[in-house]
Amino acid sequence: MEHDHHHQEGSNHLPQVLIIKPPPVFTLFEDKFISTKFQFLKAWESTLPLDQFLTTYAGSVRAVLCSGASPISRDTIRMLPSLKLVVTASAGTNHIDLTECRRLGIAVTNLADVFSDDGADAAVGLLIDVLRKVSAGDRYIRQGLWSVKGEYPLGSKLGGKRVGIVGLGGFGLSLAKRLEAFGCSVLYNSRKQKPCVPYPFYSNVYELARDSDALIICCSLTPETRHLINREVMLALGKQGIIVNIARGAIINEKEMVECLVNGEIGGAGLDVFENEPNVPKELFELDNVVLSPHRVVFYTGILHCCL
């Protein structure tokens, strides 16, 4: 009978940390994760089917390192009776069954504010790109259209814009500071009003959109925030309004957003995330007022300190 090569790894009695699929940071910096205190079980390298792999090592797995590419479902959790900790290499936790973890007393930790500065930089970058038509202008030149069609239409400045932030956690606060430096007025919506925050608070995202020139989505994906940004909110934002999403795709009703963009009912969008990644609505490809990014605007520079 052929034995899986991981079987012998578990013989040294070190606590086992399961990785079903490697997060990008693990692939890039695997040598930095080496420790004498625990050992990784690399399920993706095994010849065993995943269910059989989990059954084989069920008694020794104390922790899981995951990302959005490897959801930790109720079924997975129940196959790991010794599991005590789930660490996700992301700010979001919507790929983890938090209810089941809570029921079984399993701790869950994410990277939360580790990404705040990088994510805030990226959000501002997407907003400027849409407003100033940076990517669209680049395509215009590369396609040889400047010499044929003449000057490209001017964009719009960021300074003076009213920017509504949906989700004013550490990420949102880092973003707000940058927007202030550009001369923007910051408004926000959050689960609760933040004490000692100088920005106007809106308990209703529709009213926030109505009073904003741009909406930037920074909140977590939860049952309450799924499709929070719907057609009604987008129509309130208006024909010149810009949406930037660097949180999770399903916070926006993507089908309704595509319709609003195609019909000119909102002014544009900067999107790093999508509802059915890596599938992106093809209708967006031809729109010069839409900037697309493959869920990569956040860097992993600080992640190691949180994981190890």
Active site residues: 248, 277, 295
Pairing relationship of beta strands 242-245 and 85-88 according to DSSP bridges:
unpaired
CB atoms within 10 A of CB 191: 14
Q: Are the C-beta atoms of 73 and 45 separated by less than 8 Å? A: no
For 74, half-sphere exposure in the C-beta direction (CA atoms, 13 angstrom radius) is 4
Measured CA to CA, the distance from residue 253 to residue 11 in angstroms comes to 49
Cis peptide, bond prior to residue 278, ω within 30 of zero: yes
Measured CA to CA, the distance from residue 165 to residue 129 in angstroms comes to 18
Measured CA to CA, the distance from residue 61 to residue 19 in angstroms comes to 10
In the chain the first and final C-alpha atoms are separated, in Å, by: 36
